[in-house]
């Protein structure tokens, strides 16, 4: 499994437009692609970024989706007003609060 963390930078007045575009591309095309596992769309509190965190079965599955001509017009439109910094990752380690902490499962 691989994780894509793609950071888009925008002028804050364009943040909602980018959120709408990426939500539409993901809902209509990306999540239907073979090997898609899950995605979460984030808006930055300061208005300047929109970040998509997505999990894929393999690098090949992600690259096949990116080569699909169907969602391409949406991605191209996004790049007319946003900068795109992609990142392809593997998970190194996850962290939880210590057991018994006020935020841990034992007291909630």
- Tell the smallest beta-carbon distance from residue 56 to a second copy (Å): 10
Burial 16-38 (b: 16+ CB within 10 A, else e): eebbebbeebbeebbeebebbee
Q: What are phi and psi of 12, to 5 degrees?
A: -50, -35
Asked if residue 89 binds a second copy (CB under 8 A), the reply is yes
Nearest one of 11, 49, 37, 48 to 91, comparing CA atoms: 37
Asked if residue 80 binds a second copy (CB under 8 A), the reply is no
Q: Which is nearer to a second copy, 7 or 74 (CB)?
A: 7
Q: What residues line the site for a second copy (CB under 8 A)?
A: 2-3, 5, 7, 19, 23, 26-27, 30-32, 34-46, 49, 51, 53, 57, 59, 85, 87-98, 101-103
């Amino acid at each position: 499994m691989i994780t894509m963390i793609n950071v888009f930078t925008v002028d804050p007045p364009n943040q909602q437009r980018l959120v709408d575009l990426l939500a539409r591309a993901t809902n209509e095309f990306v999540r239907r692609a073979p090997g898609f596992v899950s995605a979460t769309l984030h808006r930055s509190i300061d208005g300047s970024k929109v970040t998509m965190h997505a999990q894929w079965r393999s690098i090949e599955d992600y690259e096949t989706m990116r080569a699909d001509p169907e969602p391409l017009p949406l991605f191209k439109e996004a790049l007319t007003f946003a900068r795109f910094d992609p990142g392809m990752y593997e998970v190194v380690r996850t962290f939880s609060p210590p057991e018994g902490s006020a935020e841990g499962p034992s007291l909630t």
